[in-house]
A and B are shown apart, each in its own frame.
Chain A
Amino acid sequence: MTAARAAVRLAAVADPRPMVVEEDGRHLLAGGRCRPNGHVLNRPVPRCPRCRGEVAPARFGPDGAVWAVTVVHVPAREGDDVPYTLAYLDLDAGPRLLVRLDESLAPAHVGARVRLTASTPAGDPAAEVLA
């Protein structure tokens, strides 16, 4: 006789986060661009949220500017060290992207120039403020 198994969640969910890839030493966002109207997207979804046009894969970055920034003092997930900096970046000619921001070269402010880096060990898209 086998023991009954308790009902538990079976596995972690698939990772929904936008993906940053390394190409020729640069970190680029693997996003999308809709064919009919050129709307840029931070993830390659099947159809454009603005016009339902078909979406083709597109690379963006590595540079952009801070659209908004906050320093967070409460951990959101197991293992989050506080405080940490979150920002919305607008990549140059590209989409808005939420990132963990490294302020070791220069402090962040709205409009500050930034560059994508490798994602954090936890898998979050990341960028650093340029000096």
Chain B
Amino acid sequence: MTVCIWGVGTSSFGRQPDRLPAELAWEAVNEALEDAAVDGVDAAYVGTVFGAPGVAQRALWGVGITGIPIITVENACASGTTALHEAREAILAGRFERVLALGVEHISTLFEGPIAPEATDPEQASGLLLPALYALSASRHMADHGTTASDLAQVAVKNSTHGALNPRAQRRRAVTEEEVLASRPIAEPLTLFQCAGLSDAAAAAVLGPARRGERDIPIRASALRSGEAWDQDSEHVWGFDVVRATAGDAFEEAGLGPHDADVVELHDAFTIGELVTIEALGLAGEGEAAARVRAGELSLGGTQPVNPSGGLLSRGHPLGATGLAQVAELVWQLRGDAGDRQVEGARTALVETMGGGAAGLDGNGCVVAILGG
């Protein structure tokens, strides 16, 4: 059986402290149900990181979804795609037929700047913010591969150029390399414009078996892993190995390789994250991602556009909702509904989300899925 995405939806993205998390979910779920042309589902998997207890049930009550199994999952920034992965697995196992995958996050009322460090984590208790963790990867990547500050900035330039074409994006202005490098330093070498903005948002997808009709998008493969131990014996910077291993699982299931994806949405919470992920997915050799970005190959109009939505850097990063926002973008791309940022002729799409924060691990969770084809 092939599980398909019947419909997708998202709320608006941005700091929306005057709106309830449920209101954001209502927007996303109603759009996804309408897009799927169904009135209800048999179960819901809901991804959230900082969601309050009951956030899923409270949200779904307001759109007439009650009485069904609701399973809430947390896998750091991969929570939304973990919900998608588990929804598909449940359908494949014959447990449910029509399943809602929802991601919802409301963080503008929790954090002013970066996400506060978790006091029970051995490294975060020493003040290791996520931008600092990624900055340490950048430091090592620069030493190993000669990556430059300009290379990092070019990722923000590319994604902001894409984001300017996305009416749902939080940041809708193309920025120059000079502006990126001159923006406020956060954790060197990362500057403010190289960090995704924390966003309040929800995103949803309705999944089910293949139906007649062209609009449903098959999920050709999906893989989920958590990181192995990451320490002095690890060969790569943080997060590389878990992305590579998860992608390997997905490519094997799909019978495809990295260059078969016509369009990619990947986890660019920070600019260095995009470069490391491009290399870990095998879209470029190790140390070669920056050259592909600079040559324009990964831009709209290039051979293999990465993050046509603007990525997390421009669309905004509503942690638990991010994965399903990436999926929504790819469904629109594969249907030819992506407007000004349409990747012409896109038939196969790859989505990657990874989240971390637990010390000593190469990531808390990573999902790679291949759509269409």
Contact = CB atoms under 8 A, between A and B. Distances in A.
A69 B126 contact: no
A72 B135 contact: yes
Nearest to B230: A96
A87 B140 CA distance: 11
Contacts, number: 110
Contacts of A74: 113-114, 129, 131, 186-187
A77 B122 contact: no
Interface string B226-246: 001101110001000000000
B126 A100 contact: yes
Nearest to A40: B232
B136 interface: yes
Contacts of A77: 117, 127
Contacts of A70: 132, 135-136, 138-139, 187-190
Q: Is the interface of A mostly helix, strand, loop or mixed?
A: loop
Interface string B120-137: 111101111101100111
Interface in B170-218: 184-190
B140 A95 contact: no
A49 B123 CA distance: 16
Contacts of A41: 231
Contacts of B125: 15-17
Q: Is the interface of B mostly helix, strand, loop or mixed?
A: loop
B117 A67 contact: no
A110 B121 contact: no
Interface string B313-327: 000000000000000
Interface residues of B, number: 40
A76 interface: yes
Contacts of B142: 110
Contact of B127 (A16, A68, A76): A76
Residue of A41, A96, A111 with most partner-chain B CB within 10 A: A96
B198 to A, nearest CB: 13
What size tier do the contact residues of chain A reach? 35 or more
A68 B139 contact: yes
Contacts of B117: 76-77
Contacts of B231: 41-42, 95-96
A24 interface: no
A95 to B, nearest CB: 6
B6 to A, nearest CB: 40
A86 B132 contact: yes
A76 B139 CA distance: 20
A43 B139 contact: no
A29 to B, nearest CB: 12
B120 A39 contact: no
A106 interface: no
A73 interface: yes
Given A68-B136, A68-B140, A73-B187, A98 B128 contact: yes
A69 B359 CA distance: 17
Q: Which 9 A-B pairs have the closest CB atoms?
A: A76-B127, A70-B135, A110-B143, A49-B229, A68-B140, A68-B139, A68-B136, A96-B232, A124-B126
24 contacts: A12-B119, A14-B120, A16-B119, A16-B121, A18-B122, A41-B231, A43-B122, A50-B229, A68-B136, A68-B140, A72-B127, A72-B129, A73-B185, A73-B187, A76-B129, A77-B117, A80-B127, A87-B136, A98-B123, A98-B126, A98-B359, A99-B126, A100-B126, A124-B127
Interface of B: 113-114, 116-117, 119-123, 125-129, 131-132, 135-140, 142-143, 184-190, 228-229, 231-233, 237, 359-361
Interface of A: 12-18, 39-43, 49-50, 67-74, 76-77, 80, 83-84, 86-88, 90, 94-96, 98-100, 109-111, 124-125
Given A40-B232, A42-B231, 9 more contacts: A15-B125, A68-B140, A69-B139, A72-B187, A86-B127, A86-B136, A87-B136, A110-B143, A124-B127
